[in-house]
Amino acid sequence: MNAISAICRPRVSDLKNRRLLLLATTIFASSIATCPTMAQKVQPNTVIGDEIVVTAQKREEPLQKVPINVSVLDGKLLDKQSAGGVLEALQTTPSVSGQTSDLGGVTQISIRGVSPAVPFGLTSSTTGYYIDGVPFALGRSAGVPNAGDFDLSRIEVLRGPQGTLYGASALNGVVNIVTSQADPSKFEAKARVGTATTEGGGISYQGDAAINVPLVQDVLAIRLVGGFNHDAGWIDQPLQSKRNANYTDNGYIRAKLAYHPTEDLKIDLGAWLSSIKEGAPSFGKNGVQQLAPRPIPSKVRFGAYNAKIAYDLPFASISSSTSLLRFKQTVFTHTDNALIFIQADPDNGRLFSRLPARVFTEEFLVNSSNSTNLRWQVGAFYRDAQNDTYQTLPLAFGAGNNTSFRDTSKSYAVFGQATYAFADDHFELTGGLRYFHDKYGTQTRVNPTNILPVVDVKNVAKATTPRVVLAWLPDKNTNIYATYSVGFRSGVNQQPLSIAVDPTYPPAGPDKLHNYEVGAKGNLGSGLITYDLSVYYIKWKDVQQGATVQFCNAKGECVPVGAVINGTSASGAGFDLSLGLHPIRGLNIGGSLSSNDLKLDDDILAGGPGSNTPATYFAGNRLAFSPRYTASAYINYSWALSENMNARYEISATYRSASTQILAPGDYAALNLREKDVDYKECNASGGNINHCYRSGAPFSLNTRLEISNNRQQSIALYATNITNWQGTTIPDFSYSTQFRTRPRTFGIQLASNF
């Protein structure tokens, strides 16, 4: 759940210091567990014939002309996905890795190996995540919710830094979820239901429905969408006599209102309300038992609200997008990977966390028309964010006591980008720039039961991020481009406990990622072969990483506290490749392969660059939770059974290489660690076994689906996921109990109908 923290053997002389030690080691060392979940997969970019239109550069344009490595997941195919949600579908896209935290209901996304240190507790995400323009950018959480995948227009996955157009939340990529808009021109309704059984587990079921109603023809419409998905568990809690404890219930409703009084003026309002309840995280001994003595449920709720007003002028379009995100997590943590002395008191040893957040954003954008050789856009952005952390643990804090603090951020940015087409539109030169200013603070909440000392710290982060692209379009089917782009992430204050122990310890400064890339995309033989290839080199400067710092006073009394520190840099080359073969009508064969060699260039010192402190990570280490390879493959074939009946069969596979986690020696003396370290040579400096090193397994999923449909858009589908029943560990399991697993072999049926 929180940042990795070390446990030394300090000399603690009084009850207050004992509580500080327990507070530090519990809050910041609760968990690091992350894992991807297997589900029926959706292949990106399989639309042939019709032009795919995207908004990757904040204007509508054909995918083929966008000089960015972009995958598009089509909403119609997502409607057919048999299990999971948005985060399941993302597993099929090149270089994307999704890892689910035991914080519950949220997932950490990394692209091209650029991963936050931990899912929660220290710093923000390295990947921008947007739902209809609403950014999920939380100050100390890298997790995003698993949104439902029904009735979406598309999901766009942008690889590489997007700092110029998307700002601080897009260090090395963006996931842009675009839901279906209310349409004043036609009535539409659709629904799907399904059920499935998991080997060794319970029965899952789902239901979704959507309706679009024109209230005033071609002027006013409303669209309503709702659904509920119960993913049954398969891991038992024998100490509570509870079977299949790790279930998930995901319910949501969406409402869209479109008012288009004239051809030039459009007003679109949207709201998405979601509730995700998890009975327990998906870890346990041998993958089937979890030794929690008390329930450890979690819940995530969010409301995402957006209002967009757009007006078309003869030479440009003007738009204002206003959004509000209200987000709340509540989670209990009490497992046998916690401190050993907490296990002796299960009632008082249960950590409860409440994590509410509010984020308001406003973006004003002016886009030129596409009628001239010069296309340009200028904009301004404002963000006001507030994230609270509230935790109780009676054994550590005392009955009725808590820790509570608030992180705030008020930022603004101005940006612009221009593209000039020349040589009969065969070449395009693009240049862009963004200036960002963020004032961020951390304050303890003053109340009688808060045991944290009073802290009120404010800092400022600034950044300027350029983007330059040269694209060659020799024909309508080919785009070859070279680009230099920069992404950034704002700074973050240390948590109040760290500040109280050592007020001189500096905050973590902003980090920047520089990306040099050459790519090509297009199709050959009138669509026989489709391809998207990019080769890149990353230089990630001042990389923010989580660490445990031993704060010691003049008497030599030490308290280990989780902190965010800046390393010097990480760098490496990589590539993303997607291929599709479409030899005959109805047959599609394809896949993807991605690789990155992103490693630290220098040791990361516990006290920050230039300090005389021990190294937490060594030069040549891969970053935590940063897989080197991702791969996918698929074959699908559609054919006619009769004049009114059609069939479609699909088989697909996904693969992600192992990831690593490093713990310093002696840091976890009181934790239930595995007895033997994994032999991982890149983890340690030469000449000694300095760190404890752990690796995950390499998740592999094989899935299949057979669908029968009629010409009235009604269908029935049979599917199986994780056919091989892959059950290796999906995270670097540093404790006996944090052996995260993916869902075992599952068989299901799904019915769908459009009206």
Lowest model confidence (mean pLDDT) among 277-286, 289-298, 726-735: 726-735
Supply the mean pLDDT for the chain.
84
Checking if the pLDDT of 580 tops 70, the result is yes
Question: 681: pLDDT confidence band, cut at 50, 70 and 90?
Answer: low
Percentage, residues of the chain above pLDDT 90: 57
pLDDT reported for residue 22: 38
Helix (H) or strand (E) holding 686: none
Of 148-157, 259-268, 637-646, 666-675, least confident by mean pLDDT is 666-675
Percent of the chain with pLDDT over 70: 82
Q: Given a cut of 70, is residue 419 above it in pLDDT?
A: yes
Mean pLDDT of 248-254: 95
What are 319's two structure tokens? 């738009």
Q: Which range (9-18, 166-175, 328-337, 552-561) has the least confidence? A: 9-18
Q: How far apart are CA 148 and CA 78, in angstroms?
A: 10
- 351-376 confidence digits (pLDDT tens): 888 999 999 999 999 999 877 899 99
Gap between the terminal Cα atoms of the chain: 44
**CA proximity to 181, closest of 129, 250, 133, 251:** 133
Q: Is the pLDDT of residue 341 over 80?
A: no
Q: Does residue 43 have a pLDDT over 70?
A: no
Strands (DSSP E) contained in 613-681 are 615-617, 629-640, 645-656, 660-663
Q: How far apart are CA 492 and CA 155, in angstroms?
A: 30
What does the alpha-carbon distance between residue 273 and residue 253 come to, in Å, rounded to a whole number?
A: 5
User: What pLDDT is stored for residue 671 in this prediction?
Assistant: 44
Please report the pLDDT score of residue 682 as a whole number: 52
CA distances to 34, 80, 83, 640, 705 from 710, rounded to whole Å, are: 41, 15, 22, 10, 17
Q: Pairing mode, if any, of strands 599-600 and 96-100?
A: unpaired
Number of Cα atoms under 13 Å in the Cβ half of residue 29: 30
Residue 679 has pLDDT above 60, yes or no: no
pTM summary value: 0.89
Contact at 8 Å (CB) between 213 and 203? no
Instruction: Name the residue with higher pLDDT: 613 or 543.
Output: 543
Q: Give me the sign of the Cα torsion angle 90, 91, 95, 99.
A: positive
More confident residue, 345 or 619: 619
Minimal CA–CA distance to 318: which of 360, 267, 352? 267
Alpha-carbon span 621 to 663, nearest angstrom: 12
Residue 663 is predicted with a pLDDT of 65
Looking at the DSSP assignment, which residues form a beta bridge with residue 70?
Answer: 158
Q: What angle do CA 482, 164, 362 make, to 5 degrees?
A: 150
Structure tokens at 374: 């010069």
247-261, 548-562, 697-711: the lowest-pLDDT one = 548-562
Question: For 37-58, what is the mean pLDDT?
Answer: 62
Average pLDDT over residues 637-659: 95
Bridge partners (DSSP) listed for residue 681: none
pLDDT at 288 over 90: no
Hey, what are 240's tokens? 């509570």
The pLDDT confidence band at residue 726, using thresholds 50, 70 and 90, is: very high
Band of the pLDDT at 743, cuts 50, 70, 90?
very high
Q: Is the pLDDT of residue 208 over 50?
A: yes
Estimate to the nearest angstrom the gap between the alpha carbon of 556 and the chain centroid: 41
Mean pLDDT of 12-25: 39
10: confidence class by pLDDT, cuts 50, 70, 90: very low
Per-residue pLDDT at 12:
32
Query: What is the dihedral angle through the alpha carbons of 67, 69, 74, 80, rounded to the nearest 10 degrees?
Result: 170
pLDDT at 388: 93
pLDDT at 748 over 90: yes
Phi, psi of 78 (to 5 degrees): -65, -35
pLDDT value at residue 399: 85
Which residues contact residue 679 at a Cβ distance below 8 angstroms, ignoring those fewer than 6 apart?
none
- The three-state secondary structure class of 86 is helix
For the segment 513-561, what is each residue's pLDDT rounded down to a tens digit? 999 999 999 999 988 999 999 999 999 999 988 776 666 656 666 666 7
In this structure, what are the phi and psi dihedrals at residue 676, rounded to the nearest 5 degrees? -125, 130
Cα distance between residue 56 and residue 68, in whole Å: 8
- pLDDT of 11 > 60? The answer is no
The label of the residue with tokens 């509920």 reads 228
**What per-residue confidence (pLDDT) applies to 704?**
96
DSSP for 18-84, written as a single string = HHHHHHHHHHSSS-------------SS---SSPPEE-TTSS-EEGGG--S-EEEEEHHHHHT--S-
What does the pLDDT read at residue 440?
95
Cβ neighbour number for residue 407 with a 10 Å cutoff: 21
> Which 3 state secondary structure label does DSSP give 133?
coil
| Confidence at residue 406, expressed as pLDDT on a 0 to 100 scale | 94
Q: Pick the residue with more confidence: 559 or 410?
A: 410
Count the neighbouring beta carbons within 10 Å of the beta carbon of residue 279. Answer: 22
Which CATH fold would you assign to the domain 15-754? Maltoporin; Chain A (2.40.170)
Stretch 271-275: mean pLDDT: 96
Q: Beta strands 645-656 and 403-422: pairing type?
A: unpaired
Do the beta carbons of residue 165 and residue 57 sit within 8 Å?
Answer: yes
Residue-range domain boundaries for the chain: 15-754
In sequence order, the β-bridge partners of residue 305 are 271, 324
Parallel, antiparallel, or unpaired for β 700-710 and 714-721?
antiparallel
Alpha helices by DSSP H, 483-582? 496-501
Residue 236 CA to residue 292 CA, distance in Å, equals: 10
Measure the CA angle with vertex 269, ends 263 and 274; round to 5°: 150
Residue 753 has pLDDT above 50, yes or no: yes
Is-contact 138 176, C-beta < 8 A?
Answer: no
